[in-house]
Amino acid sequence: MHDTGNQLTGECLLGIPFNSTAHLDLTTDSIVSQQKSATTIETTIDNEPGYRTSVNSYTRLNKGVLQPISYALGDSTISTRSQRLESSSMINVSTTTDSNTGCYTVCFSTTTAIVPTASTTTAIVPTASTTMAIVPTASTTTAIVPTATTTFTDSCNDSIEILQGDTCISKNILQMSAVNALRNATANTNATADALSLYFNSIASPSALSDSQYVLSPDDIDSYVDRLKNVNLMRNTKASFILAQDISQFANIQRVGATFTRGIGGAGVGIPNGIDTFSSIATAAALLESKSLSDVKSFSMLIIDSPNTYRNIDNSTKRNLVSSVIVAAVQRDIASSNAVNISLYFQVLPEYKPSGFPEYFCSFYDTTYQKWNDFGCTHPTHNESLDRYECNCNHTTTFALVWSPKLCQCNTSEVLLPNCTCITKPEGQEWAVEVLKNTTNSTVIADALSVYISAVAKTNETVNQNNLLTVDQIDYYVNNMTNVNVSKNNIDSILLAKQPDQGNNEMILGASFLTGSGGEIISTLNVSNVTHSYLSAAAIVSDKSLIGATSLNILIIDKPTTYENVSTSTEQRVASSVIVVGIQRGDPTAVRFAVSLYFQVLPDFEPKVPADYFCSFYDTSNHIWNDSGCTKPIFKNSLNRYECSCNHTTTFALIWLPKVPLTRYLNSQDIASLVFQSISICCFIAVIIHAIVIRFRDPIMSLQTNDLPPLMSCAVTMILFIFFIALAMTTYTKTSSEDQTSCFLSSIVLMFFVYFFIIFMFCIKTSVAYFNYLRFVCLFPQPSYRRLFVMILISFFISIIWVSVAAGLNSNPSYNITQLYPYKFCWFTRGVIYYFLTIPAGVFLLINTIVFIRVALCIINHARQATSPHQLYKRMKQCVIILLLSSATQGIGWLFGPFLTFINSEVGNILGWFFVIFNGLEGLWVILLYIVIRSLRMDKQRYRKFAEQITTSTEQVSHKYGKYFEGDKEYEDIVT
């Protein structure tokens, strides 16, 4: 015999009385005891129906030391599966008496040979101290050869099957069978214990049956454990341990209960009087105080190793299971209100181990309110030497160790360190800077950065300039966090450094922050919800930009007080949270980068004067905020934020500059636009007047109906210019202040007239272009002017419908369709102008461009192949070319307009002049077109006069020769 000397000194193994031989058959739960003076015990224990197994997983060595089987036998001596052998087997045991404590001791030899037998009773005869032999008592004699190793061949898949006899049976089937047996009201205590043990063995694997009707509730399990009364039994597997004992046999026991060790199994435990400590390294244990059991007749206990079915039973609190589950019950003959004191011991299971700073509670499951409750239980204390938590409760039920996030809170003048301690903000700033200077560990960098930002944020104290990080340094630390999967989130900032591809179709895209609440990681699973919710700041990287990325690093600083004066420009001011974006790539191949940014103007940084906002990055070379590579921010009124995008990574913020005061004076572009449009109108009026004068002076040379279609598109454009000037003048004279953004009624009416004639102008120009395509490209048959008028009529109705849709949507203010641009005009908002103007103008311009190319190629081809010039056809070609050029310049001019909403001011000024000039060219096209049409009319009249002269001359010659013929005929008659 030998002593490991480290386990449970003075504690007794339960189940076999002192100085007796016990034959315990758990199938029938019969215990036969007979007094015996010798120290040899014949023991047969069947742990589950159809199996023979070793005695309890704990066994007693000399001097009352309780030792697990694996320690006594060693891994090379015996192999078990859930404390079961594949066939009926016995292990030699012997007992000794501890005269000091009055307890027996069960001992195992160090070398054992195990041979299966055909009978259910085995005689165990000890041999030498180091070698034992097992001799079967059945009629068939089996030779036993001592050996140091016994091997069992597993033929079942342990994850989904259990060996029953010689058959592997599915755990799902066994689980259903066990539940059905438990729900059988006529089942006795033995059958209940067997079914309970089988149930927990069958659901121990994650692949167990998920059908809820075959999953027992905590209340059900409580009732089944309480049903184990007036009986002495044990059920022991690697998944659970069940113990039921009569209390009368423990006269000299101070505490009695059960213990369980993962991978080994459970055992009953009794601590004699005078022993105050329980020093077992167990996964879970429960000991009842004998003094509180005076009116108790029996008790029963269940310890569940991996209580997966208990993990999600509490949805009302933030407490989470972290240990094995212990179910304890006592049985009395009469009702009593006496408290039952129970000591509980829990180790934190590795698979349930919490992250962060947990706070542990010794709790019972309240079946009434379906939540974990620590009423009647002491706060657990941590035993560092045994790495377990210990507590006491004054009742029996279902117990477990649970945890919730520890509330580490500091006052406003303090900052929280990673170890959940509070120090002053200056001390925290100094600590963070010192840590950052002396570490390259990404996790430590994340902790220190988070502390630093909290230390310098919202403080009334002067920031220590010696411990102040520059923008470059913060950018460097964020970008150089690699090979880590970390996120730090508090009310001052959110910092993440994660691999974008998280598996299961989840891709990390960015982060968001809401003042007063904290941050949130944005992934493909929640990106749509986040972008449509209220937030202070957010950064979302496009999924294509993350191709080949190994780490996405983002820092959002809620109140960036240290960034207020980082720009050398005295006018640039931060208006929002600051976002730092970095990305690590394993593949050096360049990938086009795009990040969408969302900013709210923070109340503390809101400008007190009218301001213009810019989406900018911090240029570390020039120490200024720069908007290169970023779009102009668009204000989203419904969510009260600005949105933009950038094509690079660095430190971003929403910057404001004092707005250039608006005056009632028109700028050069406004004046030029009005002048050019007025000139165009005057040109068109001059054309009309000249046409009328010609009609009265020389009706033959006046324009005919067939000459008018080319001028119709110009006429619509002139009407458009008239309404546009009216809109501009109305807005200019009636704007009450530069902050006015709502259009007044007259401006809205004029705006939709302008919009109607814009669409109508494009439709007519396209119709005329298509008509000329049929005329010059298709040739035969020549299109009739009736077809052109039909197309113009269709264009009118298309324009009406289009404008009606826009007006209908504008009737709902939440759509934010129109807005007033003070002293300019009432027009579409930047967010919708693409749908109402850019797309239609682009479509019409594309059609006209295609027609222009086809017609131009046809005209060029005809010019090359023509044998002689034809003046009429030449004029017609000139007319068509002018019409097409007019359409092209009009389309390009209006197409430039929407780009002015997001490009910088310098480029916008250039495009603005293009818009003014291209629209102003309409007057030139009117004059040229009229000249060509007049020339065409004059050519026709010239050809007509020439034709008449030829006809007259031909008739005169014919008349002269006709008279000569008649005279000759008369002369011939006379001669005849």
pLDDT tens-digit series, residues 481-514: 887 888 888 889 999 999 898 888 889 999 999 9
Q: Over pLDDT 70: what percentage of the chain? A: 71
d(CA 371, CA 316): 7
Domains parsed from the chain with CATH numbers: 12-136 (no CATH), 157-214 (no CATH), 217-405 (2.60.220.50), 410-469 (no CATH), 488-658 (2.60.220), 668-936 (1.20.1070.10)
**Rounded CA separation 713/735 (Å):** 33
Q: What is the average per-residue pLDDT within 211-235? A: 88
Does pTM surpass 0.75? no
What's the one-letter identity of residue 339? A
Confidence label for 896 from pLDDT (cuts 50, 70 and 90): low
What pLDDT score was predicted for residue 704? 64
As a whole number, mean pLDDT of residues 577-593 equals 84
Cα distance between residue 942 and residue 133, in whole Å: 137
Provide φ and ψ at 774, rounded to 5°: -65, -35
| CB atoms closer than 10 angstroms to residue 309 | 19
Q: Which two tokens stand for residue 608?
A: 């007190």
Cα–Cα distance measured from residue 195 to residue 216, given in angstroms and rounded to the nearest whole number: 12
Q: Output the pLDDT for position 506.
A: 86
> How many Cβ atoms from other residues are within 10 Å of residue 30's Cβ?
11
Q: Is 194 helix (H, G, I), strand (E, B) or coil?
A: helix
What pLDDT was estimated at residue 504?
82
Paired tokens of 265: 């199994």
Residue 815: count other Cβ atoms within 10 Å of its Cβ: 14
CA distance 617 to 650: 7
Residue 360 has what pLDDT? 92
pLDDT bucket at 348, cuts 50 / 70 / 90: very high
pLDDT at residue 685 tops 80: yes
Mean pLDDT for 899-907 is 59
Of 353, 413, 346, the closest CA to residue 378 belongs to: 346
Q: Which pLDDT does position 664 carry in this prediction?
A: 62
Looking at residue 904, what is its pLDDT? 56
Q: Are 362 and 436 in contact (CB under 8 A)?
A: no
Question: Residue 734's closest CA among 724, 744, 726, 742?
Answer: 744
Distance, in Å, from the CA atom of 222 to the CA atom of 218, rounded to the nearest integer, reads 6
pLDDT digits (tens, 9 = 90+) for 772-810: 777 767 766 777 878 888 888 999 999 999 999 999 999
Residue 868 or 905, more confident: 905
660 pLDDT above the threshold of 80: no
Q: How many C-beta atoms lie closer than 10 Å to residue 210's C-beta?
A: 10
Nearest-angstrom CA–CA distance, 878 and 2: 117
Q: Of the ranges 16-30, 580-594, 783-797, 921-935, which one carries the lowest mean pLDDT score?
A: 16-30
Q: How confident is the model at residue 893 (pLDDT cuts 50, 70, 90)?
A: low
Structure tokens at 24: 């315990």
The residue with tokens 């208006």 is 575
Q: How many CB atoms lie within 10 A of CB 215?
A: 16
* Each residue's pLDDT tens digit, 159-191: 788 887 788 888 888 888 899 999 887 778 899
- Helices 905-920 and 871-896, interaxial angle, to 10°? 150
Quickly state the pLDDT bin for 884 (edges 50, 70, 90). low
Question: Given pLDDT bands bounded at 50, 70 and 90, which one contains residue 971?
Answer: very low
pLDDT tens digits, 117-154 = 333 333 333 333 333 333 333 333 333 333 333 334 45
Say if CB 538 and CB 570 are below 8 A apart.
no
Percentages (nearest 5) of helix, strand, coil residues in the chain: 40, 25, 35
Stretch 385-405: mean pLDDT: 92
Contact (Cβ atoms closer than 8 angstroms) between residue 93 and residue 15: no
Q: Are 360 and 401 in contact (CB under 8 A)?
A: yes
pLDDT at 353 over 90: no
Could you give the count of Cα atoms lying within 13 Å of 222 in the half-sphere of its Cβ?
13
What is the pLDDT, as a whole number, of residue 902?
52
**Whole-number average pLDDT of the chain:** 75
Mean pLDDT of all residues in 948-974 = 59
**Residue 44, token pair as written in the block:** 């047969």
Cβ neighbours around 483 below 10 Å, total: 11
Residue 612 has pLDDT above 90, yes or no: no
Q: Is 539 within 8 Å of 596 (Cβ atoms)? A: yes
| DSSP letters for 759-793 | HHHHHHHHHHHHHHHIIIII-SSPPPHHHHHHHHH
> What pLDDT shows up at residue 913?
81
Could you report the per-residue pLDDT of 709-761, keeping only the tens digit for each?
667 777 888 888 899 889 988 988 888 777 777 898 999 999 999 999 989 98
CA torsion, points 188, 194, 195, 196, in degrees to nearest 10? Answer: 110
Looking at residues 283-304, what average pLDDT do you find? 91
CA distances 45 to 56, 84, 120, 485, Å, are 9, 10, 10, 51
Quick: pLDDT tens for 39-75.
333 333 333 333 333 333 333 333 333 333 333 333 3
pLDDT of residue 48: 36
Rounded to whole angstroms, what are the CA distances from 230 to 242, 722, 831? Answer: 14, 104, 79
